[in-house]
Structure 1
Amino acid sequence: MNSLKTYWKNYISAYQGLSHATWLLALVMFINQSGSMVLPFLGVYMTTVLEFSLKNAGIVLSTFGVGSILGSLVGGWLTDKFGSFKIQSFSLFLSIPFYLILPFFKSFETLCLSIFFLSFIKELFRPANSASVSYYAKPENLTRAFSLNRMALNLGYSIGPAIGGFLAAVSYNFLFYTNAVMSFFAGTLFIIYFKNRKGNTPEKVIADKAEQIIKTKSAYADRKFIFFSIFIAIYAFCFFQILNTLPLFYKNVALMNEKEVGLLMAFNGIVVFILEMALVHYAEKKFTLTANMIIGSLFCGAAFLVLIPSHLVVILYISIFLISISEILIMPFASTVAVNRSSPTNRGSYMGLNGISFSIAFVTSPLIGTFIAQNYGFTNLWIFNCVMILVATVGFYFVMKKM
């Protein structure tokens, strides 16, 4: 009973001190992500409705990653040049027509092209949004501000796939149209609240970071951060199996229907929503950044390890729980590392490179993942993921010691 009271005390205290703007950014993220139900079902849609092979489905999913890489790269540059407000508004509203026309593209070539442009436009949002979080959050609340944003993302992600599973059971077209509607609502709310709104004054931060700015004008010249980003990409390769090969595994091997897949995917978002703020608040106090990254990485490896001997439903939920804890420990602290290495004048490039690390995984994860699954089986894919997680864990340990 006392432990439960302590948990809720930590949970409530984790929210204290966060600015209204931080909360509104999280609300925009929640609305936008609530409509993001296409990606978890895209692989299933292509292999069942469009009758693509696993190989072709993996290639289409990888084009999403290619668009994400370019979107993160361009988004970081545009954010430094034009500001986060304009880029987020542009991304939210321009993605709407792409969602509306997506159901009309059914061939392999046209779907590759349309998914590429959709992901490019969507990914412009990520570095701009991360820069906004750091702009509106108080410095002492930075990690918790990122955690709140991610909690909103995961709450939306828990609702999106759950609803998406029921919509897909009727028609996959409803998934695309719902995404468009939610993007419109998110963009409208964002413009109404954040137009002409001022954030934290950056002068003190600029002074504190003056020496670093001289040494490193851009994230792409920061060798230590580049190595850190490489290990983030390796970790993300394994984590993003949750968006491509895992749903295919649930459908084709565990023999789940769309509703059951949606509920299982929603469990990830629910776990993160319930646990993230309190767990991050606790981890901030008890562990170093390095320890959090290492522990979070190992949880991801454990999530795939438990799938090797069995795919009983209870095992699938244990796996999702483990990968959710990994996500809680890795994602906000990875963003904190990027912000700590940057200044307000080059933050866009750092958040952009941080986004590129995850976008690279969007390319490699479905492409390599579906290749291994189709030619060697899902069990060998899980073993491969465990090996990659060990590489990432060792990498985090050594590179963060030097950082």
Structure 2
Amino acid sequence: MRTMRGWFRDTTGGLPRTFWYLWTGTLVNRLGSFVLIFLAIYLTQERGFDELAAGLVLSLWGVGGAVGTTLGGMLADRWGRRPTLLTSHLGAASMMLALGFARELWAVAVGALLLGLFAEAARPAFGAMMIDVVPERDRLRAFSLNYWAINLGFASAAILAGLAAEASYLLLFVIDAVTTLTTAVIIFVKVRETRVPAVAVALAAGAARPRGALRTILTDRVYLGFVALNLLGALVFLQHISMLPIAMGDDGLSPSTYGTVIALNGVLIVAGQLFVPRLIRGRSRSHVLALASVVMGVGFGLTAFADIAWFYALTVLVWTVGEMLNSPSNSTLIAELSPADLRGRYQGVFSLSWQLAGATAPLLGGLVRQQAGNGALWLGCAAIGVVMAVAHLASGPARERRAVALRPPAAPVEPVTVVRPPAPQAAEAAAIAPTEPVGSATDGYAPEPDRDRRAAPTR
């Protein structure tokens, strides 16, 4: 029991209050994330649109999300994290209701486009605020806790959404809007602005105010290389919601079986994600990311040999372990590679990689599967995992050097002024206590080398 309390304290203790408000908002928002789970089914079964129209609506949601992440990142840096979060949540709640009441295809399409824009605009601001309030030493724990909340909320939403859909599909949109508004209220009441103006950041670093944010990002080869690796990983990872249900259907497995198998992903993350920080603490992030890439690749590669439910379940469990290792290391590294005054835009570029993967992963997966076969698709995913692992190992040192260079300078410690007593007093002190050398810990003085060491900035 004592060990469990110690683990809980080490996992959750010492994090700032603002983080817990953001964490609560994440959990509430994810508990109501009904619409995206059932949107394709709603469009085809409830609204009567064909597959092409439904695909168009989902694509427009992705286009809106790509625009939203870019715009949200810029606003988070220029306007502020808090107003960006409030505006995006209020806009998303409004569009959620509008989409629920829309009937014509054009109205549904516009609603999906604007919903994607507002919903995804919150991501860069949220990520930047998390980095603002959580010290670097605690970010691994903080991002793991937030990722745990996301999966707990999403797994619960999948169950609740099924119950709500039986009553009314409109209820899905209403509940989703209410939870989004609840998150906005939490931010409005409890969360203050955390953005530090660019001028203050520049002055703190002893440099001139940075110019050309877009140029800075486009010329940051270390960061863009990391984003490119994330795009590759996302292309593999998102096959679980595009090609995996098709593969299982070809083997005669029902949609409900797919739902049960894929639910193991959330169950494993909720059960084990909070133990990951202690497992990877102190280890090379590049090695952890490389291992995660291999494990995820192996998990998806095994799908080529699966033909029954338990084998598919095994593949999901394997690549979920890779996902659990990847997420916290990925998030902390993105945080450290983002300059303080450009955190929102850097988070936006990172989120954009997921939006691009969401739009292209189904197309590429379907093309490979159609032209080369099911086995080639999944073995190709395994090959990409190995390539990513090698790339992480090769690019890791440059990323860590960049992360060190971007850390704010430590505040210099005031030098310790040593006032030595006059010679007669020193002699008298020595006569009284001859066994106590000057400069020892007991007399309050320090020898010169010790003083210099304490006066030097430490990290």
TM-score if structure 2 supplies the norm length? Answer: 0.75
What are structure 1's unaligned runs of at least 5 residues? none
Q: Describe the shift of the 1:295–1:20 C-alpha distance in structure 2 as closer, same or farther (beyond 3 A).
A: same
* 2:272 paired residue among 275, 280, 287: 275
What does residue 78 of structure 1 align with? 75
Residue 275 of structure 2 is aligned to residue 302 of structure 1: no
- 2:254 match: 256
Does the CA-based 8 Å contact 2:294-2:385 persist in structure 1?
A: yes
Amino acid at match of 2:387: V
Q: 1:241 aligns with which of 229, 239, 242?
A: 239
Structure 2 vs 1, CA of residues 250 and 45 (structure 1 numbering), >3 Å: closer, same or farther?
A: farther
SS of residue matched to 1:342: coil
Matched, 1:365 2:361: yes
Higher relative contact order (CA 8 A, sep 6+): 1
Q: Which residue of 2 aligns with 1:231?
A: 229
CA change 1:297–1:185 in 2 (3 A) is: same
CA displacement 1:192-229 (0-9 Å, x = unmatched): 111x4668999998678667987996333311111110
Q: What is the aligned length? A: 396
- Where do 1:1-400 residues align within 5 Å? 9-10=6-7, 12-46=9-43, 50=48, 52-53=50-51, 58=55, 60-103=57-100, 111-169=108-166, 171-194=168-191, 196=192, 218-247=216-245, 249=247, 255-258=253-256, 261-285=258-282, 287-373=283-369, 378-400=374-396
Q: What one-letter code is carried by the residue in structure 1 that aligns with 2:77?
A: D
SS for the counterpart of 1:18 is: coil
CA–CA distance in structure 1, aligned partners of residues 286 and 212 of structure 2: 22
Q: Alpha carbon RMSD of aligned pairs, Å?
A: 3.4
The whole-number CA distance in structure 1 between the counterparts of 2:83 and 2:311 is: 44
Corresponding residue SS for 1:124:
helix
Conservation of the 8 A alpha-carbon contact between 1:71 and 1:121: yes
Cα 1:225/1:215, change in 2 over 3 Å: farther
Q: Secondary structure at the match of 1:306?
A: helix
The answer on whether the counterparts of 1:165 and 1:261 sit within 8 Å (CA) in structure 2 is: no
1:283-339 alpha-carbon deviations (Å, 9 max, x no partner): 122x21101111111222122122222242222332332232222222222221122
CA distance in 2, matches of 1:361, 1:71: 15
Q: CA deviation at 1:18?
A: 1.3
Q: Which amino acid aligns with 1:267?
A: L
Question: Which is greater in Rg?
Answer: 2
Output the TM-score relative to the length of structure 1: 0.85
Counterpart-to-counterpart distance in 2, 1:29 and 1:61: 23
State the SS of the aligned residue for 1:346: helix
Deviates more, 1:136-145 or 1:76-85: 136-145
Distance 1:345 1:57 in 2: 40
**Structure 1 Cα separation of the partners of residues 344 and 249 of structure 2:** 39
Deviation at 1:30, TM superposition (A): 0.7
**CA distance in structure 1 between the aligned counterparts of 2:374 and 2:4, rounded to whole angstroms:** 37
The Cα offsets for residues 349-370 of structure 1, whole Å up to 9 and x where unpaired, read as: 2211111122211111233234
Residues 19-74 of structure 1 deviation map (CA, whole Å, 9 limit, x = unaligned) = 22111111100111111133233344456554644x76555434333222221111
Amino acid at match of 2:341: T
Q: Distance in 2 between matches of 1:47 and 1:249?
A: 21
Deviates more, 1:289-298 or 1:65-74: 65-74
Q: Which structure's residues are more often helix, by fraction? A: 1
- Measured in 2, the distance between the counterparts of 1:262 and 1:169 equals 17
Distance 1:42 1:88 in 2: 24
Contact 1:33 1:153 in 2 (8 A): yes
